[in-house]
C-alpha cells in the first residue's frame, strides 16, 4: 500500500505547487498596485506643493497691497487714485 501513500504525497505536492503559483501571481499584482499607489501619492504631493506655493504667492501679494494702503484711507473709504467715477 506504499503506492497509495506515494499517490497522496504526489497530489499534495501538485496542490502546493498550484497554490504557490497563485501566490506568486498575487504577489506580482500587489507589487504593481503598490507601485501605482506610490506614483499617485508622489503626484499628489507635488500638486499640493504647487498649490501651497500659489497660496504663498497670493498671501504675499495681499500683504504687499495692504502694506501700501494708508489706514485712514481704509477707514474712510478713500482711494489714492484721482479718478472720479461719478
Model pLDDT for residues 2-56, shown as the tens digit of each residue: 567 788 899 999 999 999 999 999 999 999 999 999 999 999 888 988 899 999 9
For residue 79, pLDDT beyond 80: no
Q: Dihedral sign for Cα 36, 38, 41, 47, please.
A: negative
The answer to whether residues 52 and 58 touch, using CB atoms and an 8 Å cutoff, is no
Give the model's pLDDT for residue 80.
Answer: 56
Contacts (Cβ under 8 Å, ≥6 apart) of 73: 79, 80
How big is the chain, counted in residues?
86
Give the model's pLDDT for residue 2.
Answer: 57
What's this model's pTM, rounded to 2 decimal places? Answer: 0.53
Amino acid at each position: 500500500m506504499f503506492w497509495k501513500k506515494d499517490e497522496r504525497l504526489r497530489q499534495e505536492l501538485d496542490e502546493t505547487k498550484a497554490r504557490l503559483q497563485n501566490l506568486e501571481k498575487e504577489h506580482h499584482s500587489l507589487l504593481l498596485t503598490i507601485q501605482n499607489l506610490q506614483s499617485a501619492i508622489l503626484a499628489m504631493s507635488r500638486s499640493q506643493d504647487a498649490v501651497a506655493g500659489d497660496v504663498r504667492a497670493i498671501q504675499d501679494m495681499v500683504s504687499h497691497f495692504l502694506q501700501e494702503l494708508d489706514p485712514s484711507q481704509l477707514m474712510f473709504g478713500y482711494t489714492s487714485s484721482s479718478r472720479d467715477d461719478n
